[in-house]
Amino acid sequence: MARLKLAVLISGRGSNLQALIEACRNPAYPAEIVLVLTSEPDAPGLERAKAAKIPTRVVDHHDFSDRPAFETALTAEIEAAGATLVCLAGFMRLLGGEFVRRWRDRLINIHPSLLPAFKGLHTHERALEAGVRVAGCTVHFVREETDHGPIIVQAAVPVHPGDDAATLAARVLVQEHVIYPLAVRLIAEGRVKIVAERVVVAGAGAPTGALVNPAFEL
């Protein structure tokens, strides 16, 4: 079966891109990355793409007079590469309605919180400030409202006593690298349907048990 063609959009270090690159190395994985796209000429993640011999393009937002023109250029690159699923992987520029509508149901994002909690920036600082005992990450379809849209996969991790934003971010990031390739696989296998703005995953069970934090012997 033909592999699903991915465009991965990054702004920074690209560790989620790397997780997708690793997954795609397996010939049995049903997707391949055909383009890594960024608006940041110096994004360190570009080196990861080059090392994996994946085509890269820079669409620098400074070169465009307004957001629609910038986004038209992004779409042109994605279409030229033949990608049919767009994966935001730490892409830190807000995307406008036209782009989101153009790629509706074919545009996904990873966010470092258990959405709908902690949308936006500084998620780990805010989670610690709120005193939550469980944190996590979410892969979801993108809608016009930021960090909102049908949820495909989530992973939960415990908050540890003494955590700071960096230690919590690192624990969540390990799970980001698990759930992003998983979400892409489920979509590529045709298992993911959006029904009334909620995701239904065909043939998927759910784990038993619960994550209880703090851990206590009763």
CB atoms within 10 A of CB 129: 10
Closest distance of CB 56 from ligand GAR, Å: 14
**Residue from 48, 111, 140, 185 in contact with ligand GAR (CB under 6 A):** 111
Give the residue closest to ligand GAR by C-beta.
Answer: 90
Q: Among the options 62, 111, 160, 177, which is catalytic?
A: 111
Q: Which positions from 8 through 47 interact with ligand GAR, judged by CB under 6 A?
A: 10, 12-16, 45
Q: Does 108 bind ligand GAR (CB under 6 A)?
A: no
Vertex 136 angle, CA 102 and 205, to 5°: 80
- Is 124 in the active site? no
Binding mask 66-105 for ligand GAR (x = CB under 6 A): -----------------------xx---------------
Which range in 29-37, 47-55, 108-116, 204-212 contacts ligand GAR by CB under 6 A? 108-116
Please check whether residue 100 is in contact with residue 143, taking contact to mean a CB–CB distance below 8 angstroms.
yes
Tokens 């383009």 correspond to: 35
Phi then psi for residue 47, to 5 deg, are -65, -35
**129 CB contacts (<8 Å, ≥6 apart)?**
none
Distance CA 33, CA 23 (A): 10
Three-state DSSP class for 134? Answer: strand
Binding site for ligand GAR (CB under 6 A): 10, 12-16, 45, 89-90, 110-112, 147, 173, 176
The residues that are catalytic are 111
